[in-house]
Every structure is written in structure tokens, then in C-alpha cells.
Amino acid sequence: MQTNIQQLLEKRTFNESEIVTLLSVKGEEMKMLLDKALETKLKFLDNNVHLRGLIEYSNKCRKNCLYCGLRKDNNAVDRYEMTDNQVFQCIELAQKLNYGSVALQCGERQDKHFTDKIEYLVKEIKRRSQGTIGITLSCGEQSEQTYRRWFNAGAHRYLLRIETANEELYYKIHPKDSVHSFKKRMECIDTLLKTGYQTGTGVMIGLPFQTTEDLARDILFFQQKDVAMVGMGPFIPHPDTPLWQYRDLIPSKEERMSMTLKMIAVLRLVMPEINMVSATANQTIDDLGREKAVVAGANVIMPNLSPQENREEYSIYPDKACVHDTPEQCYNCLDIRMHTVSHKILYKEWGDSVAFTKRKQQNETTIKQ
Ligand code: SAM
Ligand code: SF4
């Protein structure tokens, strides 16, 4: 069996059943997979870690995803939207801490006040930082026109997880109504790619009803779409959501963590030059989760810049790591944590996806010829 895995690890492309085999490894074979992924990352991207200072802009959401604490019908949450000044203070903090990029994330809304506000904030962040701060948005599904406006305002990366590439599973974790549409989610990914964003997507790992085959197909989906970045993390059941009733069906914390590491490692082999986030959810279920994900192949971390008073209310899942840490504490802690696993944080840089940058250059060369 060991030789099979060794042989498999020498390949560059994998079919679904080979990915399932890699996602099923344990013990010594899992170590071989993780070692190969680290070797691949170091070869293509070095030991650099990029930062995205996370601004949890608002927890108001029009959706009712069955897994998320911010879902519209969860009345236990006090809803907030940060003021413009609070956002600008986060930017000042990002600059003080030498973070080259921020990610503005929030519940999904499509009303005019919201779409105008995001456009204004993006422009203002660019103006105030004299273009030095890179901006990632993660504000859900929008029309092509809205994505374009935000892109033209200066956002150049967008993160929209598909949550799962399996339509049947999608409807087990979302309500079946006109607001939640698998087809629309997929179309949004295509629109983001077409608009010119460095497009990121991803899935949750360890969902009830999810199989290893589903996860293998998620990896093939990322590859097929040729996305620039991926954020994957363990599913963490939230007591105020409908999926809580299935908590006994989900794998243990250890199993979810180990499957997350294997997903990251296999994807690093499949797409060596993309950006991959080590999600905060990793650290929530395992004290060393973020470091383990970086050693398995991730190269992006999202330290929280949000004001203390809002953090408890951005409760996607319970017991989120670092909720009580100040941004300054996060800064020191992350720097030390990355050093302990022989990685180095690149400050003052946008940290764009190498895969994206190379593809863009190739396309430009082809057009010129
Ligand atoms: N509203 C936007 C969206 O859905 O794309 C962005 C914010 S949403 C809170 C960001 C991500 O949180 C989702 O894409 C989902 O994968 C993740 N998430 C939500 N609930 C979760 C849970 N219970 N456990 C782990 N991740 C969760
Ligand atoms: Fe809203 Fe995003 Fe949570 Fe779904 S995952 S309920 S869209 S914040």
C-alpha cells in the first residue's frame, strides 16, 4: 500500500478515485502526503505567509444558510453595521501593523444602501492608503453590475465559497427557496472570474451528509475553474442553527481537522501556485490548527482587525478563536506562531496569487502576439 501512495504522490494530476485514496490516508501515509505538500509549497511559493487583516463589516444577512450563526432567522444575534469611521480605524491599524491587505467580510445584502456603501468604502480605503492597501471582498452573491462596480472601485480579490460542489448536498445545508440557489452561486463564481477578480472559493469540511467523494469533487471543481485562491475549513456546528440537530452525524473535531489538512495538502499538489487560506476555524477546533494548515500547504492567514465590541456578534460558529485578542496581540502571536513552524510573514505586501499573476501575464503575451 505504501508504495502505491508513494507512486501516487509523484503524480501531478489526479482523478476522483485517486483523490479519494489520498484523502483516506492515515498515520505514516498521511505524513507522507503532508510532507509532499509542504515540499511542493516551498518549491513554488517559498515559506512566505501573506496576511489579510479581517474586517467583519456587518452581520446583517438576507440569507438563511442552515449552518451559519448569522442567518437571518437567528434572533439571538444583535445586528450591527460598522460605521465608516470604524472601518477607517481598522485601516489605520492595518497600516500601523504593516499589513499590506485587508479583507472586508459580511453577511449578504443586495440593497442599494449596502452596495453603494461597499463601493464608497473600497474607494475611500484606496484613497486614504494611497493605493497601498490591497482589498479582498467577501460580501456574498451580487449582480454582475455590482461586482463590476466594486472591482472598478479598487477591490481586486473576491472570496465566495461554494460550500460544496454537490448540488444535492448544497440543498441539505441551505433552504430550498429562491434566495438560496446552487445555480446562482456557481454563476457568481463565473462572473467574478470574468470580471477580473482574483477569485477565491472554498468549502466547509465535515458537514453532515458529506462524503469523501464529495470532497474529492470539490478539489476537481477548484481545478476546473482554475481559481486563484481557496479557503477551506472545518464545519463547526452552531446551536442556534438548523444543522445543529445533525451534530451527531458529523466527524469528531480530530477527524475534521485531519481531513482539512489532507484537503489542503492534496489541493497544494493539484494547484501548487494558488493562495490557500489557513482558516480561523482551524484554530477554533485545534490550538495549533492554523500552524498545522500552513505546514500542510496553506499560505494565507486572516488576523482579525474588527472592533472588540462587534466581535461577539459576528458569531458564524461558537467559540471562535482569538475573539478576545486585540489586533496588536494577534500581530505578535501570529508572528511567533509562524516562526515556530519555520515560516515568515510578508508585511506591507498585497500577497497576490502567483497562479493568477502568471496566468494574467500569459494572457497578455498571447494578446500581444
Ligand atoms: N456572507 C458571505 C458568504 O456567505 O459568502 C461571507 C460571510 S460567511 C460568514 C463566510 C463563510 O463562513 C461561509 O462561506 C461559510 O463557509 C463559513 N461558515 C459559516 N458558518 C460556518 C460554520 N458553522 N462552520 C464553519 N464555517 C462556517
Ligand atoms: Fe449569511 Fe454568509 Fe452566513 Fe449564509 S454564510 S447566512 S450568506 S453570512
104 within domain boundaries: yes
Show the CA angle centred on residue 17, arms to residues 11 and 20, nearest 5°.
90
366 within domain boundaries: no
Indicate whether residue 140 lines ligand 1 (CB < 6 A): yes
Indicate whether residue 61 lines ligand 2 (CB < 6 A): yes
**Residue owning the nearest CA to atom 25 of ligand 1:** 235
- What's the pLDDT tens digit per position in 175-224? 999 999 999 999 999 999 999 999 999 999 999 999 999 999 999 999 99
Q: What's the CATH number where 244 sits?
A: 3.20.20.70
What distance in angstroms lies between residue 350's CA and the mean position of ligand 1's atoms? 23
- What's the pLDDT tens digit per position in 84-102? 999 999 999 999 999 999 9
User: Is pLDDT at 312 greater than 90 in this prediction?
Assistant: no
Number of helices (H), then strands (E), belonging to the chain: the values are: 15, 11
Indicate whether residue 174 lines ligand 2 (CB < 6 A): no
> 54, 58, 61: which to mutate for ligand 2, most atoms within 8 A of CB?
61
- What's the pLDDT tens digit per position in 141-155? 999 999 999 999 999
Q: How confident is the model at residue 3 (pLDDT cuts 50, 70, 90)?
A: low
10 within domain boundaries: no
Instruction: Spell out a b/e string for 187-214, using b for 16 or more CB atoms within 10 Å of the CB, else e.
Output: ebbebbbebebbbbbbbbbbbbebeeeb
368 within domain boundaries: no
Closest ligand 2 atom to Cα of 106: 8
Stretch 345-368: mean pLDDT: 88
**Residue owning the nearest CA to atom 20 of ligand 1:** 68
> 316, 319, 320: which to mutate for ligand 1, most atoms within 8 A of CB?
316
Confirm if 102 and 52 have CB atoms less than 8 A apart: yes
How much is the pLDDT for 184?
A: 98
How much is the pLDDT for 324?
A: 78
Closest ligand 1 atom to Cα of 241: 23
350 vs 189: CA distance, rounded Å: 22
8 within domain boundaries: no
Q: How confident is the model at residue 360 (pLDDT cuts 50, 70, 90)?
A: confident
Q: How confident is the model at residue 326 (pLDDT cuts 50, 70, 90)?
A: confident
How much is the pLDDT for 151?
A: 98
Stretch 274-288: mean pLDDT: 94
Closest ligand 2 atom to Cα of 71: 6
255 within domain boundaries: yes
What distance in angstroms lies between residue 204's CA and the mean position of ligand 2's atoms? 13
Indicate whether residue 250 lines ligand 1 (CB < 6 A): no
User: Is pLDDT at 80 greater than 80 in this prediction?
Assistant: yes
- What's the pLDDT tens digit per position in 231-274? 999 999 999 999 999 999 999 999 999 999 999 999 999 999 99
Residue 9: how many other CB atoms lie within 10 Å = 21
Tell me the residue range of the domain where 174 lies. Answer: 16-360
User: Is pLDDT at 1 greater than 70 in this prediction?
Assistant: no
User: Is pLDDT at 359 greater than 90 in this prediction?
Assistant: no
Instruction: Give how many domains the chain has, as a whole number.
Output: 1
Indicate whether residue 272 lines ligand 1 (CB < 6 A): no
Q: How confident is the model at residue 167 (pLDDT cuts 50, 70, 90)?
A: very high
User: Is pLDDT at 158 greater than 70 in this prediction?
Assistant: yes
How much is the pLDDT for 365?
A: 81
User: Is pLDDT at 325 greater than 90 in this prediction?
Assistant: no
1 within domain boundaries: no
205 vs 228: CA distance, rounded Å: 20
Q: How confident is the model at residue 113 (pLDDT cuts 50, 70, 90)?
A: very high
Cell numbers standing for residue 173: 445545508
What distance in angstroms lies between residue 316's CA and the mean position of ligand 2's atoms? 8
User: Is pLDDT at 2 greater than 60 in this prediction?
Assistant: no
235 within domain boundaries: yes
